[in-house]
Every structure is written in structure tokens, then in C-alpha cells.
Structure 1
Amino acid sequence: MPPELDPRLTPARPDLADIRLRGQVEAARFVEGRRARIAVPSAPLRRRPEPQAGLDTEVVMGDAVTVYDVSQNFAFAQIARDGYVGYLPEAALGPADPAPTHRVAALRTFVYPAPDLKRPHVAHLSLGAAFAVDGREGEYWRLANGGYVFAGHAVPLDHAEPDAVAVAERLVGTPYLWGGRTSLGLDCSGLVQISLECAGLTCPRDADQQERALGTALPPGLDGLRRGDLVFWKGHVGMMLDATRLIHANGHHMAVAVEPLAVAVERIAEKSFGAVTSIRRWADGAAA
């Protein structure tokens, strides 16, 4: 694969590749992927088609994907949200239509078989999961694919939270999970991605991608920071809660935690990722 093509974002293998990559990569055959959508509450995307392979990221209900190959219960696919490529469980896939109309705005909610909170729930959905609404019964949305969700836990798909940092604050205490991007477990870049997406902003998946794509770089130093500034290390990212405090999902606390930036900088320099590589500010509160 040419070095300019990021393998995380390039749907290509020696035996097959996306037809749009013809002339850019070598492959035995080129295929046009088919559209699909995640039909389960959440699913892992792994770097290899093996149940024990490392977790690269996660998808949630409603996520659009392009499927290039299915073999031995795994789908080789690309996530529409951020372009990530890997292997999903075939059982997680459903039809591309109907397209979602609403998404979960609560940290998590339940799917019920009827519009009745006393009925045993059939699934739980994480913050950001999306679904198509087929009507309303009392206080519940009736889902086009079956089941009911409490309407107060969902918002229209195009709703944008006014403050991405406030979304991150709601996730304080969520356990750390490498590759996680649901309210049951998050890694550092997953926290940033889901917080910005809830605010209506496009955000890459990994910290190095976010460092290249988001906002503008500030001068070196830890002074003059403000809410929402992103602090990057080689392999790590956090978000400023205010001028002095950082919120980040990290392996030291094994959770999403808030701590003084100076404390985090000293510990991280000594024990893990080294020095801060950059601090970036969103342009007018949005991703550049």
C-alpha cells in the first residue's frame, strides 16, 4: 500500500479493494461495496477477522457502513462516520434503509417490546446510537425496525448539543476501554470523538488524526487555555474543562477523569506518552 494511504482508512487487501482505489493500490480484484447499517446496539471493529483480535473501534446502532466482503461470519467494511476500516461481526449488519431519524441523547437507554416501562427491556442503546422512528405512542417512539424507546432520551438526528465539553463531563466515571466509543467504555480519542459528534462536529477517530485535522495550533505553553482546547501527546488526547483542568479517558485512572492539567502533564511525561506535542483550538468553536 502506498505510504500516503493510511491503512486505517483504506479499504484494501491483497485479494480485494474498493473499486475507487483502482490505480492507487494493488489487489487481485476491485469491488463496489454495498451499503449496510448497524442493526445491533453496538459491535466491535477489529483489525483482523478473529474474535480475539485487538479492538480498533466500535460502531453503534444506526451507523452506516460499506461492506466489501463477508467471510466466516466477519464483514470487511468501512464506517461512514470516520472512514475506519476493519472487520465487523456479520450478525451486526442490517439493511441500509430506513435511514435513522433520531439518536440517543441520554448516556444510555433501553429498547422495550411495548411502550411500557414495566416490560422487560430487550436491548440497551448507548449515547449516539440512532434509529428510524415510525410513530409515537404516548411517551415512547415506535422504532421502524421494532421496539420502543422513551422519547425523552432521544433527539432528532440533526440536533447539536451546544457544548461538546458538557457532553464529555456527563461521561466522567465511564470505564476506560481501549478502542471503546460508547458510554459503557471509552478511550481518549473516543471520548473526544463522541463529544464533538454530539455537538454536530465531524471528528476523526484516533488521536493522531484528530491532532492533524481539528482546529488550529496554539503557541507552546500551558497558559491562556480555555474550555474545549484539545491537548495532544503522542498517542493521547484530552480536552480542557477550563483554563487549568483536563478531562480525558486514561489508563492511569482507568476511567474518564478530571484533573489539573499540570498534574497530568507531569505524570504523562514521566510514565507514558512523553511531552505535550500540541494544543489545538477549534476555529470559532468548530472543527476546522
Structure 2
Amino acid sequence: MDVRQGAEAVVGVAIAALWRSPDAVRPVDAPALGSPADVGAWVAGMDADQQVGDGVLSQLLLGERVLVTEVRPDGWAHVVAVEQPSALDPRGYPGWLPTSQLTPAGVDTDATPRVVVDATVTALHAEADGPVALPGVVLGTRLTPAGHPVDGWHPVHAPGHTRPLWLPAAHVVSVPTAAPTPEQVLTVATRLVGVGYLWGGLSAYGIDCSGLVHLVWRRLGVPVPRDASDQASAAHRVPLGSERAGDLYSFARPGSRIHHIGIVTAAAPDPTERRMLHACYRRRRVLEEPLTTERTATLVGAHRI
């Protein structure tokens, strides 16, 4: 059955890039377009400037639901990523991706995934301890169990596969149902320190500032918007000086929208002691650091999810 306009579909590759337009694709982006997509090779093949090109809006993870709004004969589909809230569209984040990276939504589309990948990167196997069937599955990917763990391996349903696939049971946990604690937020976020900066990135292969926030809370079972300005708008503002670890700092230049966001790592009633963990465009990686004087000059608020 083909992917159809007006119907729901799900992402059938480990990571699918959501593009601003098919025309935004560059020759260096070829590894990201296949099925399976080789995101590791894609990121490794780009230089630092290519990694911050604006052609990619976001990334979608295996099993993520989309509404297909257009299917073109050249192999591209316009979709709305319904699991990534956005002010751009009340239904979710809009963009383009290759139709080959989608699979029609099955009858179990409404089944609630009960486990989430906790490893930064793992793989799904054809059988327990068997050959790899789907590499590059990343932190925050939500899956539906296909049974109970067996000998340290967990069976799960995967889009486009009729038989269950398997991954190490230690690489998945139950999707949390309680509100995350600040400690849990920082534990997940700290595991991504050192990941390279990738515009539109949403994985341990590369990530941007709002992608880091979205992914951390996704892993913890809390849906948040994809873009920094939307994340700040959706959270509760708290007075500067009363922020605590696990809150967010947002940044904007005078008269402009919020352009950067980071996770507070320590309560700081003294403005000179503020620290955050963030995906830094200038230093091109995820790091934890004190707010510089220049950064503090653009600090516009603190927010709590």
C-alpha cells in the first residue's frame, strides 16, 4: 500500500530529515535521503559550515507519525509532523521528506508506545542477538513492545517490518508517565554533552539548541514544541533569580524573536553564577558552561516546563 495524500503515515527509517524544500537538498546530503538513511555518514561527510545550512528544519525518529498533505511524482512528500508542536501549523511541524522514508500507518497506529530508547544509539536486530536489520536507532525513539524480554533482548514492532525486531533490553525503558524531576532532566541532557552541533538536528549524531530541549523531554515522556521561541511560549515563565536546575533560559536580541535556548544546570540567585547546558552554535557542540557576559546581554527569560 502506498503513502497517500490526506492520510497518516509513520517514519520507516531510524532518522528522517525534514526539509524546507526538495530544492534545498545539496549533493552532500545524499546519505540522508536513502531508505535506510545513513545519518552518521551524512554528518561525517559535511564540513562545519555545511552542518549549519538551513535546508533541514528538523528530524523525525523511527515510528513518528505524520500527516501527509501532498505526494509528488518525483518521490517527495509534504508532511506535518504531528508529534512536534509548532506555531507554523496548528497540526504540527510542516516540511518535506522522501516518500521512501515513510510507510503507511497500520491498524495499530493509535497504540500507545510503551517503551522509549534510552541508549544514545542502538540497532534493531532481525532476531535476538541476530543480524542488524535497522541500524542507527537513537535516544528518544518510542516503540511498541511485541512481547516480553527474552534472554536480555526486547522484541518491538517496527514500521515496515512484518515480524518483530529485537534490541538489547538494557537499551529501552518504559515511557515515563510522571512529570520528570530536575535530576532526570539533567541526567538525560548530560549524556548528550559533546554531541556536535547540527542545524535541525534531533539526535546523538548532531543536534541544535531547541532539538536538545525537545529530545530530552521526549525521552522523559513530555511533548514540547520543536523551536526555541515556541518552547519558551509553551513553558511557564519564572522570574530571573528564582530559576532552578532543569528550567530553561531563553535568549533574543532587541526587537527579535528568541533565537537560542538552554537548560539551567544550577539555581543562581546571583546573576554572575548562572550556568546552562546547551547546543552551542558558536562552539559547534553540546556543552555545559557559565553564561558569558555576551550571552547574558541577550538573556530574556527563564521558563519551566
> TM above 0.5, one fold?
yes
User: Superposition pairs for residues 29-68 of structure 1, below 5 Å?
Assistant: 33-50=6-23, 51-52=25-26, 54-68=55-69
1:107-118 aligned at under 5 Å gives the runs: 107-116=120-129
Shift >6 Å, 4+ stretches: none
Q: CA deviation at 1:267?
A: 3.4
2:135 matches 1:126? no
Does the aligned pair in 2 maintain the 1:164–1:198 contact within 8 Å? Answer: no
Which has the higher relative contact order, 1 or 2, with Cα contacts under 8 A spaced 6 or more apart?
2
Paired residue secondary structure (2:22): coil
The alpha carbon displacement at 1:122 in A equals: 4.0
Query: Hey, what does 2:210 align to over in structure 1?
Result: 189
**Do the aligned partners of 1:247 and 1:257 also contact (CA within 8 Å) in 2?**
yes
CA contact (8 A) 2:248 2:263 kept: yes
Q: Secondary structure at 1:277's aligned position in 2?
A: strand
2:97 maps to a residue whose letter is L
Q: TM-score, normalised by structure 2?
A: 0.73
- Flag the 1:63–1:252 CA change in 2: closer, same or farther, 3 A: same
Structure 1 counterpart of 2:101, one-letter code = A
- CA deviation after TM superposition for structure 1 residue 149, in Å: 0.8
Q: Which runs of 5+ in 1 are unaligned?
A: 1-30
TM-score (norm 1): 0.77
Match of 2:78 in 1: 76
Residue number among 219, 239, 242 corresponding to 2:266 in the alignment? 242
Deviations 1:10-56 (A, max 9, x none): xxxxxxxxxxxxxxxxxxxxx97201111110000011123237000
RMSD: 2.2
- Structure 1 counterpart of 2:47: none
Q: Which one of 138, 157, 164 corresponds to residue 151 of structure 2?
A: 138
What does 1:1-288 correspond to in 2, within 5 Å?
33-50=6-23, 51-52=25-26, 54-71=55-72, 72-82=74-84, 83-97=92-106, 98-99=108-109, 100-116=113-129, 119=131, 122-135=134-147, 136-144=149-157, 145=161, 146-158=164-176, 162=181, 163-219=184-240, 223-234=241-252, 235-243=259-267, 244-261=274-291, 263=292, 266-268=293-295, 275-280=298-303, 282=304, 287=305
Offset at residue 252 of structure 1 (A)? 2.2
Q: What residue identity is the alignment partner of 2:300? A: T
For 1:238 and 1:59, locate their aligned partners in 2 and report how far apart those are by CA, in whole Å: 21
Q: Is the 8 A contact 2:175 2:220 kept in 1?
A: no
Counterpart Cα distance in 2 of 1:179 and 1:49:
15
Q: CA deviation at 1:158?
A: 4.6
- 1:76-106 deviation digits (Å, cap 9, x = unpaired): 1001112100101111111323344422112
Aligned letter for 2:118? Answer: A
Percent identity of paired positions between Structure 1 and Structure 2: 30
Task: Tell me the number of residue pairs that the alignment of Structure 1 and Structure 2 aligns.
Answer: 241
* Counterpart code for 2:233: R
What displacement does 1:251 show?
A: 1.6
Deviations 1:131-153 (A, max 9, x none): 33222432212233343111111
List gaps (5 residues or longer) in structure 2: 27-53, 85-91, 253-258, 268-273
